[in-house]
Amino acid sequence: MLHQLKENGYVFISSDANSSILDVAKSVGDVFKIPTMPLVQTLTPRLKKDEHESTYSGNFGIDEFPFHTDLAHWHTPPRFFLLRCVTPAPNVYTKLIDSRYLCDSLDSVLVSRSHFKPRKTLDRTANILKIKEGEIFRWDSIFIKPINNSAKKLSLLIQDKLNITEAVNLSLAKEGDCLLIDNWRMVHARDPISEKEMNRKIERIYFEKVII
């Protein structure tokens, strides 16, 4: 599985529906606890009007979520995360695009000169972020913002590439289905949610290292 993760940037895992995500996590790697979040987060469809604008649901509700990196506004986003199906909605797909396709034709000088910042400062500090830095690729059209002309140009180029790049569409169609994603490499999105799919429930947990 580790080979598949390195090769593709993600790996699909089946688990016993009666086990917990923490049981699965033990065999995957070292869990990373986000200080402001529960260790295991439960993701369900939420209406925009009911949510805070600091969340994706607060910006998009049950509409399609655009491609992004989880916690892209952090200086160092979590390396991996696992999505596990609790209540399936087979017609709702998680979409993945490999950042290597996005970066192939980008001017490296433009990338290095492009500076971004979180939409809101963290810990009262203004972190200067780069889209590509070492192994980390980050993208979020909502929670990180360009702060110079190079970054504004780069944002348009990336958005154009996202619009024309064919995504991998994966469905967590059965209870216990899991999807492990390299958050430094892949950007992900979510299909819109219909009225009949409002009971969809996914659990998420972050990792700093995987051993599978």
Q: What is the pLDDT of residues 37-74, one digit of tens each?
A: 999 999 999 999 999 998 999 999 999 999 999 999 99
- DSSP code for 106: S
The fraction of the chain above a pLDDT of 70, given in percent, is: 97
The beta strands (E) that lie in the chain are given as: 10-14, 29-32, 41-43, 65-68, 80-87, 93-98, 116-118, 132-133, 136-137, 144-146, 168-171, 177-182, 186-190, 201-210
pLDDT tens, position by position, 8-27: 999 999 999 999 999 999 99
Task: Give pLDDT, residue 212.
Answer: 77
Residue 153 has pLDDT above 70, yes or no: yes
pTM value is 0.95
| Domains detected in the chain | 2-210 (3.60.130.10)
